Amino acid sequence: MAAQSEALSARDLVARRLQGGGSDWRSWVLEGALLLSLLVAIGILFVLVSDVLMKAFPVLVERPLDFLTSTVSARAERAGIIQAIIGSVTITLIVAALAIPIGVGAAIYLEEYARDSRLSRFIRTNIRNLAGVPAIVYGLLGLAVFSTALGLGSVLLAGGLTLAVLVLPIVVITTSEALIAVPTSIREAAFGVGATRWETIRSHVLPYAAPGIFTGTILSLGRAFGETAPLLMVGAIAGTFSFVGAPWEQLGEGYTTLPTIVYHWAGYPQAEFRALGAAAIVVLLGVILLVNATAIVLRNRYDRKW
């Protein structure tokens, strides 16, 4: 009898242990708290978007086209973002034309050409460090080198060059990751039939790495599109001015960009200017969320396991 009851209680004990000793409220609390922190982070995104949409509503409904095609003005009912759109697009094009070829080239050198030498290790560390330098420091570099030493002044070209330098390390790092993901056997196949290094890269490595490179590149262009602080250092105009022209006419002129104009309008206390700022954010966020969503979709689609 005694032995049997002891066995039963042992069984009960084990069962209780395995089932977690009845209601396990601590686990629930922890899981709830963790989920809550995630939901708060995500919830902020929704609050932000809905608040901006609400504030932008009067502008977006009453004069959507007029807002897109007017110049910056001290009178809220006439102000628009045409110069900012042209400025942002032109700067992004300059960044793309400079940072993509140099960045992809540097990544190809590091992953495909360089042996594990002291030089290549130094370049690698250097690029990682550059990626962590605050954006505003690039602004100081642009102010000293492009605006002052090269004598460009506070013009759009100086802004474009500054952001190209800022984005370069990001392009190198994302491209490197895409190149590393291509297995060595693919290269060996090309070398085996007598291809040179460049022929191997062009015909075998780059096609497989292309989706990854493309994803990283458009993400870094999105980053350039939303950058403000370094441009303020190299003379982006956070104020009113009248010049409008085609992108190539802008290069040597004063300029503004979408984020700069958001900064400008956010500084006014009046609700009409807040509405203008919010409307400019809608355009800015629209572009950036579109770019990022495209990148995520592309990555999920081409994510392959070798």
Are 110 and 120 in contact by the 8 Å Cβ rule? The answer is yes
Tokens standing for 135?
């954006």
| 186 counts as binding another protein under rule CB under 8 A | no
User: Does 203 sit near another protein (CB under 8 A)?
Assistant: no
Q: How far is the CB of 206 from another protein (least distance, A)?
A: 12
3-state secondary structure of 72: coil
Counting contacts by CB under 8 A, is residue 89 touching another protein?
A: no
* Residue 22 interacts with another protein (CB under 8 A): yes or no: no
Site string for another protein, 242-261 (x = CB under 8 A): -----------------x--
Binders in 69-88 for another protein, by CB under 8 A? none
Q: Work out how close the CB of 59 gets to another protein at its nearest, in angstroms, rounded to a whole number.
A: 14
Decide: is 51 part of the binding site for another protein (CB under 8 A): yes
Closest of 175, 158, 162 to residue 102, by C-alpha:
175
99-158 residues near another protein, rule: CB under 8 A: 101-106, 108-110, 112-114, 120, 122-123, 126-130, 132-141, 143-145, 154
In whole angstroms, the minimum distance from the beta carbon of 196 to another protein comes to 5
Give the one residue of 58, 211, 226, 247 binding another protein; rule: CB under 8 A.
226
Q: Does 194 bind another protein (CB under 8 A)?
A: yes
Of 146 and 250, which has the nearer Cβ to another protein?
A: 146
Q: Which of 1, 3, 42, 61 binds another protein (CB under 8 A)?
A: 42
Are the CB atoms for 255 and 83 separated by under 8 Å? yes
Judged by CB under 8 A, which of 8, 10, 13, 45 binds another protein? 45
Write out the two tokens for 178.
Answer: 């895409």
Q: Is 60 among the residues that bind another protein (CB under 8 A)?
A: no
Q: In this structure, which amino acid lies at residue 257? A: T
Number of C-beta neighbours around residue 229 at 10 A:
17
Alpha-carbon span 60 to 186, nearest angstrom: 52
Q: Is 182 exposed, middle or buried (0-12, 13-18, 19+ CB in 10 A)?
A: buried
Note whether 165 binds another protein by CB under 8 A: yes
16 CB neighbour count, 10 Å cutoff = 11
User: At its nearest, how many Å lie between another protein and the CB of residue 63?
Assistant: 20
Count Cβ atoms below 10 Å from residue 190 Cβ, excluding itself.
18
Asked whether the beta carbons of 257 and 276 are under 8 A apart, the reply is no
The answer to whether 167 touches 224, Cβ cutoff 8 Å, is: yes
What does the alpha-carbon distance between residue 201 and residue 198 come to, in Å, rounded to a whole number? Answer: 5
What's the min distance (Å) between Cβ of 3 and another protein? 25
Residues in region 267-306 near another protein by CB under 8 A: 267, 274, 277-278, 281, 284-285, 288-289, 291-293, 296
Q: Which is nearer to another protein, 214 or 225 (CB)?
A: 225
SS3 content of the chain, % helix, strand, coil (to 5): 80, 0, 20
Q: Which of 239, 283, 286, 289 is nearest to 260 (CA)?
A: 239
Closest distance of CB 46 from another protein, Å: 10
* Least gap, CB of 62 to another protein (angstroms): 19
CB nearer another protein, residue 86 or residue 284: 284
What single-letter DSSP state applies at residue 113? Answer: I
- The residue among 251 and 266 lying less far from another protein, judged by its C-beta, is 266
